[in-house]
Amino acid sequence: MTNSDMKEKAIHLRRQGNTYSEIRATSSKAIPKSTLSGWFHGLKLSKRAKARLKKKTDEHLNKVRITAHTASKRYRQEYLDEIRKRNEWALFSIQEKETAKIALAMLYLGEGKKQGGSISFGNSNPETITLFIGLLRSVYSIDEKKFRLTVQCRADQSDLKLKRYWSELTHIPINQCYRTQVDKRSIGVPTKKEGYKGVCRIDYFSADVFNDLRIMLK
């Protein structure tokens, strides 16, 4: 096929609303995009052809977004796996009671209540709450009946759903939950943060545990 024939065929396909990729796929010879761009300069297309091109372009962009999202998730997972691998030594160390106690004290120093004679720790991050209560149970001989859980949430959130969520996460029974505290400032203001579960506050009524941690923090 001569260049003239190739050009004529390409223009015909373009008028039908074919994309550059589709047109290049029909040719036995590789046609540079710059060549096609030159051939199609000033070419007028019908509404039908334009509509097809737009549809194909949108489909391609959607595939690119999906591919990019999948790749991003894969790279992030690989990144997190590498971090976990680098910190495996810490996971083994924290199983030792002395190390776990230091970790608990440092965590409580950042987020826990420093006065009152009992343990009180609040956070909105489920992983932080899980870490805290896991360390507390591993370091001390815990009386589970001394736990109390309080949910602090926004006005448009379900009290019962949040109580169930945090109760299952912490293994503190719902009958040991205090009345939910609703932020009055949020009334009439929709919650925008996706997946937000409010703040979970854990109280453990033991002056002995509180004083033991407090001494470590001094």
Per-residue pLDDT of the chain (218 residues; tens, 9 = 90+): 677 888 888 888 888 888 888 888 888 788 888 888 888 888 888 999 889 988 988 888 888 888 888 888 888 888 777 766 765 555 555 567 778 888 888 888 888 887 778 899 999 999 999 999 999 998 999 999 999 999 999 999 998 999 999 999 999 999 999 999 999 998 988 888 888 999 999 999 999 999 888 887 66
Please state whether 117 falls in left (phi above 0), alpha (psi between -120 and 50) or beta.
left
Six-digit token string for 191: 């919650």
Domains of the chain: 3-81 (no CATH), 91-217 (3.30.1330)
3-class secondary structure for 139-151? HCCCCHHHEEEEE
Helix (H, G, I), strand (E, B) or coil at 181: strand
pTM comes to 0.57
User: From the CB of residue 96, how many other CB atoms can be counted at a distance below 10 Å?
Assistant: 11
